Amino acid sequence: MRAVVIYILEVIACSGVLAALYSLIIERKVDFLFARLFLIFSVLLSAVIPMINIPVWEAALVPQLTEVAVGEVSTEVVQSTVTSFDFNFMALIWVVYGVGVALCMGSIVLQMVNILNIRRVGQMTTFDGVNIVRSQQNIASFSLFKTIYIGHNTADTDLPTIVAHERSHIAHKHSVERVVMEIFKALLWWNPFVWIASRRLVEAHEFEADNDVIGSGCDANLYVATLLKHLFGYSPEIANGLHNSLTKKRLKMILKGNSGRYALLRKVAVIPVLGILFALFSLTTKEAVAQDVQQSKVEVEVTEINDYQDFYRWVVMNVQYPSAAREQSLSGSVIASLTIDTDGNVKDVKIVKSDNELFSKEVRRVLAKAPAWRPFVKDGKRVEVKYMLPVNFVLDDAKVENVGGVVVKSYK
């Protein structure tokens, strides 16, 4: 769970840095294509960079001490019922995450259904080579992919301006970018900066469409008047519409234009910022081989186990506290079952109970290289014997009471 929380915080931190970078040096200061791509990839990179693990620095060697608590080993597998309440926070996190994704994806589907309904009951016409759906409802004009949707009360005199605006959205494939961003927003709904990036992408689309219309020779004052006339009415969030982001800065951009000073320098400035984020969240220390005090005590290789206490000692000398578990401050226990066959070989190793897969993996690793036991003899014949081996992983000076089996303590 700690690892999930750290990942979430790192993603939010990356997103915040890139959002600040966009506001300071990119928004309305470089070409619209670069701004759009930056917003989309900033969301993607913010989620990916913290996942990347590039070991670069040498880790300090961490001494690890291990001790044994004397206990008995069961010679049969006993199925017990756990009566204590063990709340699984990771399961809760996944449930909450899944509900959030489902709600966001459901919103996308609902918007698409509404658009299909408008298309189904609307009147399909063409204007200047573009498909236009004239809705029976009072909607704000918008476009989705290669179709423009307008309200039933749209005046024919406004149609050329509206079509010019929506043609720009279609030409630049803004709808595709909107759908991609909506999916990102659904998957990363818990990141507030994704919602901000989505809104800024809408603004960039509108800025670009406005700029194209003004650049085609349309009178700016007449264009602003058309925008205000078509400000109200239904338009799905996933679509490109005249009503979106009708703010003071959009009107300012229409009347004063886009600032492009030092555009190349601003673009290049993105590279060192990404490099810093990679260095902070992707470059990590190399996996260090712990200096295990218990291993330094072993001078003679054990070739045969005589009894379970010999086996305990051998396990103690070989088991290690998983470094990943130590970094995440995890502790827990593992109960493994194993069989000693008639030749004394350890086989059929199974994890009966485990608090964490990191601990299970370490116990499997140790038991996979266990030396042979002295064969068990009963009534003059060699027999197989089944054992249960408890291994307890404990951090620092935590007390372990009434626990049988091996106790592995890690002292930081």
Domain of 27 in residue numbering reads as: 2-60+88-281
Residue 291 CB partners (closer than 8 Å, separation 6+):
61, 62, 63, 64
Distance between CA atoms of residues 314 and 369, nearest Å: 11
Q: What is the mean pLDDT of residues 282-308?
A: 49
- Is 93 in the same domain as 121? yes
Instruction: Determine, yes or no, domain membership for 83.
Output: no
The residue to which tokens 């190399």 are assigned: 286
- Is 228 in the same domain as 156? yes
Residue 302 has pLDDT above 50, yes or no: no
Taking 3-state DSSP, the helix, strand and coil percentages for the chain, each rounded to the nearest 5, stand at 50, 20, 35
Higher pLDDT, 380 or 19: 19
Prediction pTM value: 0.62
Provide the β-strand partners of residue 393: 332, 408
- Is 276 in the same domain as 228? yes
Residue 53, helix vs strand vs coil: coil
- Is 350 in the same domain as 249? no
- Is 237 in the same domain as 189? yes
The residue to which tokens 């919103």 are assigned: 107
- Is 296 in the same domain as 258? no
pLDDT, tens only, 191-207: 999 999 999 999 899 88
The residue to which tokens 């027999």 are assigned: 383
- As a whole number, the mean pLDDT across the chain is 79
- 287-290 long-range Cβ contacts below 8 angstroms, 24+ apart: 287/55, 287/59, 287/323, 288/58, 288/59, 288/60, 288/61, 288/62, 288/323, 289/61, 290/61, 290/62, 290/63, 290/64, 290/320, 290/321, 290/323
Neighbour count for residue 381 (Cβ, 10 Å): 9
Of 229, 257, 281, the last residue of a domain is: 281
pLDDT at 297: 34
pLDDT at 328: 85
- Is 100 in the same domain as 222? yes
Higher pLDDT, 411 or 110: 110
Q: What is the mean pLDDT of residues 379-406?
A: 75
Tokens found for residue 58 = 């040498």
Residue 393 has pLDDT above 90, yes or no: no
pLDDT, tens only, 150-189: 888 788 888 888 888 899 999 999 999 999 999 999 999 9
Q: Which of 11-15, 69-73, 178-182, 404-408 has the lowest mean pLDDT?
A: 69-73
Instruction: Determine, yes or no, domain membership for 321.
Output: yes
Q: What is the mean pLDDT of residues 70-74?
A: 39
Instruction: Determine, yes or no, domain membership for 168.
Output: yes
Say if CB 294 and CB 317 are below 8 A apart. Answer: yes
Higher pLDDT, 184 or 81: 184
Of 231, 263, 281, the last residue of a domain is: 281
- Is 182 in the same domain as 273? yes
- Is 193 in the same domain as 327? no
Residue 371 has pLDDT above 70, yes or no: yes
Residue 377, helix vs strand vs coil: strand
pLDDT band at 129 (very low <50, low <70, confident <90, very high): confident
Q: Please state the domain count of the chain.
A: 2
Provide the β-strand partners of residue 125: 132
Q: What is the mean pLDDT of residues 30-51?
A: 93
- Is 42 in the same domain as 162? yes
Share of the chain above pLDDT 70, in %: 75
pLDDT band at 402 (very low <50, low <70, confident <90, very high): very low
pLDDT band at 245 (very low <50, low <70, confident <90, very high): very low
pLDDT band at 58 (very low <50, low <70, confident <90, very high): low
- Is 251 in the same domain as 349? no
Instruction: Determine, yes or no, domain membership for 82.
Output: no
Give one DSSP letter per residue of 155-213, joined into a string.
-TTTHHHHHHHHHHHHHTTHHHHHHHHHHHHHHTTT-HHHHHHHHHHHHHHHHHHHHHH
pLDDT at 68: 39
pLDDT, tens only, 194-241: 999 999 999 899 889 888 988 888 887 777 777 766 655 555 666 665
Neighbour count for residue 28 (Cβ, 10 Å): 18
Q: Which of 12-26, 99-113, 256-270 has the lowest mean pLDDT?
A: 256-270
- Is 326 in the same domain as 365? yes
Instruction: Determine, yes or no, domain membership for 80.
Output: no
Pairing relationship of beta strands 381-383 and 385-395 according to DSSP bridges: unpaired
Of 255, 281, 307, the last residue of a domain is: 281
Q: What is the mean pLDDT of residues 44-72?
A: 63
Instruction: Determine, yes or no, domain membership for 39.
Output: yes
CATH number for the domain spanning 328: value is 3.30.1150
Residue 299 has pLDDT above 50, yes or no: no
Q: What is the mean pLDDT of residues 34-41?
A: 94
